[in-house]
């Protein structure tokens, strides 16, 4: 089976192992997207949107986070905050960063999601939301709710597994140790 070009390590591993690649976004990816969106909000970014890309149309990433800045310095500050927060909270760095010096369109590639920080006029010109019509807009509150549900389900499953593994076992009596034997000393 020939290897297809991809940018996701999990995709490459699946292809190498002869499996169909698993393209569902992980809980960790969803948490990172939420953290990046929160960083945008903290730096007063405007019109922040998250798009969940259709796996059939896009084999290279799961989400786009698209946001706007009022000027190039604000765009750079938003990019810096996203990078700092993801580094601190998830110990991850972007695979690639483009456009940071000009600040008109900063692209931060985290493999499983891509952050686009635009100046308003550049965002209107490129109109990524129109280009990726098949992408599903994701409400940030919906994303938070989904994460909470997944976390609760995982905890419930782990608790059920833990209780099924615990079985009462009879304690075995302790063996006498060999060091407690007394040896006779020869008489002088």
* Interval 90-129: pLDDT, tens: 999 999 999 999 989 999 999 899 999 999 999 999 998 8
Residue 53 lies in a domain: yes
Cβ atoms 140, 37 nearer than 8 A? yes
| First-residue to last-residue Cα distance in the chain | 86
The residues near 174 (Cβ < 8 Å, ≥ 6 apart) are none
Residue 186: pLDDT band with limits 50, 70, 90: low
| Distance of alpha carbon 136 from alpha carbon 134, whole angstroms | 6
Residue 10: pLDDT band with limits 50, 70, 90: very low
Whether 44 has a pLDDT exceeding 70, the answer reads yes
pLDDT at 122: 93
If one counts the domains in the chain, the total is 1
For residue 71, the domain's CATH number is 3.30.460.10
User: Per-residue pLDDT averaged across 65-82, rounded?
Assistant: 95
Residue 158 lies in a domain: no
Residue 130 lies in a domain: yes
Using CA atoms in the order 31, 131, 98, 48, what is the torsion angle rounded to 10 degrees?
-40
Placement of tokens 């786009």 in the chain: 64
Residue 5 lies in a domain: no
- Range(s) of the domain holding residue 124: 25-147
Going 59 to 61 to 65 to 68, the CA torsion angle's sign is negative
Residue 161 lies in a domain: no
Question: Going by DSSP bridges, is the β-strand pair 136-138/46-52 parallel, antiparallel, or unpaired?
Answer: antiparallel
Residue 175 lies in a domain: no
Residue of 49 and 144 predicted with greater confidence: 49
CB atoms within 10 A of CB 37: 22
């Amino acid at each position: 089976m020939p290897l297809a070009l991809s940018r996701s390590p999990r995709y490459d591993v699946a292809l190498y192992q002869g499996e169909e690649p698993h393209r569902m976004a992980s809980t960790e990816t969803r948490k990172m997207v939420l953290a990046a969106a929160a960083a945008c909000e903290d730096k007063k970014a405007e019109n922040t949107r998250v798009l969940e890309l259709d796996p059939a149309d896009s084999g290279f990433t799961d989400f786009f986070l698209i946001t706007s800045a009022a000027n190039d310095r604000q765009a750079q500050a938003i990019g810096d905050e996203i990078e700092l927060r993801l580094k601190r909270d998830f110990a991850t760095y972007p695979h690639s960063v483009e456009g940071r010096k000009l600040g008109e369109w900063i692209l931060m590639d985290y493999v499983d999601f891509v952050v686009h920080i635009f100046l308003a006029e550049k965002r209107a010109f490129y109109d990524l939301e129109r280009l990726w019509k098949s992408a599903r807009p994701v409400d940030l509150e919906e994303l938070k709710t989904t994460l909470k549900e997944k976390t609760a389900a995982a905890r419930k499953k782990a608790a059920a597994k833990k209780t099924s593994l615990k079985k009462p076992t009879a304690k075995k009596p302790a063996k006498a140790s060999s060091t407690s034997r007394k040896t006779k000393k020869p008489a002088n």
